[in-house]
Structure 1
Amino acid sequence: MRVLLAQNMFHLPSHGGANKSNRIMMEQLAARGHECHVVAPMSGALRATSTDDHVSYLKGLGAEVTSATPDALVYEYNGVRAHVVTRASLLAKRIGEVAAEVSPDWTLVPSDDPGLIVLGAALRAAPERVVYLAHTLQQLPFGPGAFYPSAAGTRMVKLAASVVAVSQAAGAYLQKWGDISSTLIYPHIYGDPAELPGGDLITMINPCGYKGLSVLLGLADARPALRFLAVPTWGTTADDLDELKRRPNIEIGQPSDDIDDVLSRARVLLMPSLWDETFGYACVEAMARGIPVIASAVGGLSEAKLGVPYSVPVRSIERYESVGQARPVPVVPEQDLGPWLNALDPVTGDEALHRHLARRSRKAALDFIGSLDAGALETHLTALRPNRRLAALAALAAARAKESQS
């Protein structure tokens, strides 16, 4: 098969759950002998970089850069050819160009696509061969948590030949709020994780309003003798960093494409998310390495906990404000720190309990990983049939447009 992943988020670095899982799924398809391409932005509002700096970064990872122009970079990484545009305004055009060149059997489009620019480009390029990946629920054009609700956008999603949900929570959301049936495929992104000896820091990845920064700050203030590690990624703002720097017991770390670089320093992973999580890849990754996780009882994050304590109730975000930011700004409800302290204190203070949770977490995570089918996406795409009716309608519309111009 020829498979194109068209996405409005970075290919590399891949510090977020959605783009990391997309990258690994494409690498797995490439390893199985399929021709795989990615079209993505090089930089944007959430991460600015120059072409020279990005080329240096890619070469440091071992990628082979085959072309560099003012408009795009083309490189090979782990068997996948990536086409990354230097400006967001070029993304839709590049998707069309690569699709015309490659003639993909399937074009995968993740839901992290404000304005549905990528989905629109993919439907124009190959209307009958689009597969929609439901990752971030807030980026779907329907439902109570939608950043950008749109009836027209919902109709576009329904044009896909298939919709893939990466968790049970995502599948339920699609059905309830979009009346969309989906296929459940848990991305097998975990490899064969080794148990880590563990560090001594209470660690949080991507501290920001969405992910429960207020809980982290409250815990750091309430327990000044404990040491915390905050690893900023896509959601962390300058104001968030200022708040983190004010706490002497919070160390600010660097994100890494290798999750072990972060988790090797963690005694506990804190995931106090306040929005509906589609899943919790980092939760499973930490548990598989024997690191206990204290997480919010929200959406797919409860699913990712695999029945292992602790899942903590929170007051979820219900409203967002737009003030010209790259993403809508959450209106964060005040949180009760009591349940968090009731979980954190024994996990950090009782060595026997920590060892028990570490063993239980690792077993649950390894059992879950062992149940996954690494070939599930390949099997799904192989069995899938194009939406021929949509292709015929697109061809008819194109013919009529051509007639009107003659």
Structure 2
Amino acid sequence: MRILLAQNMFHLPSHGGANKSNRIMMEQLAARGHECHVVAPMSGALRDTSIDDHVTYLKGLGAEVTSATPDVLKYRYNGVQAHVVTRASSLARQIGEVAGEVSPDWTLVPSDDPGLIVLGAALKATPERVVYLAHTLQQLPFGPGAFYPSAAGTRMVKRAASIVAVSQAAGAYLKKWGEISSTLIYPHIYGDPPELAAGDLVTMINPCGYKGLSVLLGLADARPEAGFLAVPTWGTTPEDLDELRKRPNIEIGQPSDDIDDILSRAKVLLMPSLWDETFGYACVEAMARGVPVIASAVGGLSEAKLGVPYSVPVRGIERYESVGQARPVPVVPSQDLGPWLNALDPVVGDDSLHRHLARRSRKAALGFIASLDEAALETHLAALRPNRRLAALAALAAARAKESQS
């Protein structure tokens, strides 16, 4: 099969759960003999990075850079051909151009797509062959948590030949709020995780308002003798960094494409998310390495805990504001730190309990990973049939447009 992943998030680096899982799924398909292409923007964490700097970074990873112009950067990494636009305004056009060149059997479109720019371009280029990947619930155009609710956007999602939910929580959300049936496919992104020796830091990845930065700050203030590690990624703002720097017991680390660089220093992974998580890839990754996880009891994050303590109730985000930001700003409700301290203190302070949780976490996570089918997406795509009705409608619309121009 020829498969195109068209996404409105960067391909490399892949520090977020959605783009990391997308990248690995495409690499798995390429390893199984399929022709795989990615169209993505060079934005987000790379907004202050020059093309030359990014080329240097890619070559350091072992990528083969085949072309670098002011408009498009092309490289091959782990069997996948990437087409990266340097300006977000060029993304839709590049999707159409690559689709025209490649003639993909399927175009995969993740839900992380503000304004549905990518979905619109994919439906135009390959109208009957779009597969929609429901990753981030807040980026879906319907439901109580939607950043950008849109009836027209919902109709666009329903035009996809298939909807893939990456968790039970995502499937339930699609059904309840969009009246959309989906296929559950847990991305198998975990490889063969090593067992790590316990580190000494309470660690949080992507500290920001969405992910519960206020809980981390509160715990650091309440336990000044404890050491904390905060690893900023896509959600962390300059203001968030200022708050982290005010705490002498919080070390600010660097994101890494290899999560072992981070988890090797963790005694416990803190995941105090305050929005509905679709899943919690980092939760499973940490548990598989024997790192206990203390997480919010929200959405798919509870699902990712696999029944292992501790899941902590929180007051979730109910409202967002837009104040000139690229994404809505959460109005973060105050949190009760008592349950967090009641979980954190024994896990950090009782070595026997820590060892028990580490063993139980690793066993549960390795069992979950063993249950996954790396070929699940391939099998789904191979059995899928194009939405011929949409192809016919698109052809009719194109013919009418041509007639009106003549």
TM-score by length of 1: 0.99
Partner of 2:338: 338
- SS of residue paired to 1:307: coil
Determine if contact 2:279/2:301 at 8 Å carries over to the other structure.
yes
| C-alpha deviation, 1:403, in angstroms | 1.0
Superposition pairs of residues 307-322 of structure 1, within 5 angstroms:
307-322=307-322
| C-alpha deviation, 1:326, in angstroms | 1.2
Cα displacement string for residues 279-326 of structure 1 (whole angstroms, at most 9, x for unaligned residues) = 000000000000000000000000000000000000000000000111
Instruction: State yes or no: 1:233 paired with 2:233.
Output: yes
CA distance in 2, matches of 1:257, 1:144: 33
Partner of 1:153: 153
Runs of 5+ unmatched residues, structure 1: none
Instruction: State yes or no: 1:115 paired with 2:115.
Output: yes
Number of residue pairs the alignment of both structures matches = 406
Partner of 1:136: 136
| C-alpha deviation, 1:46, in angstroms | 7.2
Partner of 1:94: 94
Instruction: State yes or no: 1:369 paired with 2:386.
Output: no
| C-alpha deviation, 1:10, in angstroms | 0.4
Determine if contact 2:256/2:262 at 8 Å carries over to the other structure.
yes
| C-alpha deviation, 1:50, in angstroms | 1.1
Partner of 1:5: 5
Amino acid at match of 2:159: L
Partner of 1:39: 39
CA distance in 2, matches of 1:189, 1:321: 33
Determine if contact 2:45/2:234 at 8 Å carries over to the other structure.
no
Partner of 2:19: 19
Cα displacement string for residues 14-62 of structure 1 (whole angstroms, at most 9, x for unaligned residues) = 0000000000000000000000000000124774321111101101100
- SS of residue paired to 1:107: strand
Instruction: State yes or no: 1:85 paired with 2:92.
Output: no
- SS of residue paired to 2:314: coil
- SS of residue paired to 2:75: strand
- SS of residue paired to 2:241: helix
Q: Given the superposition, is the C-alpha separation of residues 101 and 176 from structure 1 closer, same or farther in structure 2, using an over 3 Å criterion?
A: same
Determine if contact 1:45/1:326 at 8 Å carries over to the other structure.
no
Instruction: State yes or no: 1:212 paired with 2:203.
Output: no
- SS of residue paired to 1:53: helix
Instruction: State yes or no: 1:273 paired with 2:273.
Output: yes
CA distance in 2, matches of 1:49, 1:150: 33
Determine if contact 1:35/1:80 at 8 Å carries over to the other structure.
yes
Amino acid at match of 2:196: L
- SS of residue paired to 1:153: helix
CA distance in 2, matches of 1:194, 1:54: 30
Instruction: State yes or no: 1:174 paired with 2:174.
Output: yes
Determine if contact 1:46/1:326 at 8 Å carries over to the other structure.
no
Amino acid at match of 1:146: A
- SS of residue paired to 1:91: helix
Cα displacement string for residues 70-106 of structure 1 (whole angstroms, at most 9, x for unaligned residues) = 1010000000000000000000000000000000000
Partner of 1:305: 305
- SS of residue paired to 1:377: helix
CA distance in 1, matches of 2:120, 2:45: 21
- SS of residue paired to 1:108: strand
- SS of residue paired to 2:37: strand
Determine if contact 1:46/1:234 at 8 Å carries over to the other structure.
no
Partner of 1:323: 323
- SS of residue paired to 1:109: strand
Amino acid at match of 1:41: P
44-53 vs 72-81, which deviates more? 44-53
Partner of 1:354: 354
| C-alpha deviation, 1:355, in angstroms | 0.2
CA distance in 1, matches of 2:215, 2:207: 10
Cα displacement string for residues 243-290 of structure 1 (whole angstroms, at most 9, x for unaligned residues) = 000000000000000000000000000000000000000000000000
Partner of 2:60: 60
Amino acid at match of 1:395: A
- SS of residue paired to 2:360: helix
Determine if contact 1:64/1:77 at 8 Å carries over to the other structure.
yes
| C-alpha deviation, 1:404, in angstroms | 1.1
- SS of residue paired to 1:314: coil
35-44 vs 120-129, which deviates more? 35-44
CA distance in 2, matches of 1:330, 1:319: 6
Instruction: State yes or no: 1:388 paired with 2:388.
Output: yes
CA distance in 2, matches of 1:45, 1:189: 22
CA distance in 1, matches of 2:279, 2:263: 18
- SS of residue paired to 2:243: helix
- SS of residue paired to 1:119: helix
| C-alpha deviation, 1:198, in angstroms | 2.1
| C-alpha deviation, 1:139, in angstroms | 0.2
Determine if contact 2:113/2:119 at 8 Å carries over to the other structure.
yes
Cα displacement string for residues 94-150 of structure 1 (whole angstroms, at most 9, x for unaligned residues) = 000000000000000000000000000000000000000000000000000000000
Cα displacement string for residues 182-223 of structure 1 (whole angstroms, at most 9, x for unaligned residues) = 000000000010100121000000000000000000000000
- SS of residue paired to 1:363: helix
Partner of 2:249: 249
- SS of residue paired to 2:95: helix
Amino acid at match of 1:314: V
Runs of 5+ unmatched residues, structure 2: none
Instruction: State yes or no: 1:29 paired with 2:48.
Output: no
CA distance in 2, matches of 1:49, 1:61: 16
CA distance in 1, matches of 2:45, 2:59: 23
TM-score by length of 2: 0.99
